[in-house]
Amino acid sequence: MKIKKGDKVQITTGKDAGKSGKIIDINLQTRRVIIDGLNLYKKHVKPRRQDEKGEIIDIPRPMDVSNVALVCATCKKPARAGYQVEGKKKIRVCRKCKATL
């Protein structure tokens, strides 16, 4: 997977298409990512005690990694990431501007 936690990505499809945010969680098994503050859904939280009120909170819903694109910090555009091998290290780079991602 070319995307990792903390990456800035842009959503490419769905109701939040075009918005960008930071990856806060990744599930490698399901290949789904959670983006901070995006792809939200409303969740009803039941009161746990009698004097508490139930409330509705927004929770970011995991989305398929194929629906997001990495945003390059240098050219500020959704970038396709590539890899360059330097010595023994593989470095992730932006295919457009060649900056290290």
93 binds Zn ion (CB under 5 A): no
- Is residue 45 part of the contact set for Zn ion (CB under 5 A)? no
Burial class (CB in 10 A: 0-12, 13-18, 19+), 44: exposed
Q: Which two tokens stand for residue 56?
A: 């509705």
- Report if residue 73 touches Zn ion, rule: CB under 5 A: no
According to the binding rule CB under 5 A, does residue 67 interact with Zn ion?
no
Cβ contact 8:21 at 8 Å = yes
Residue from the set 75, 80, 90, 91 that interacts with Zn ion by CB under 5 A: 75
Residue 70 interacts with Zn ion (CB under 5 A): yes or no:
no
Residue in the structure block whose two tokens are 């800035």: 8
Nearer Cβ to Zn ion, position 33 or 94? 94
**Stretch in the footprint of Zn ion (CB under 5 A) among 18-26, 39-47, 53-61, 78-86:** 78-86
Say which residues have a Cβ less than 8 Å from residue 45's Cβ, sequence separation at least 6. 54, 55, 56, 57
The residues of the shown chain that bind Zn ion, judged by CB under 5 A, are: 72, 74-75, 79, 94, 96-97, 99
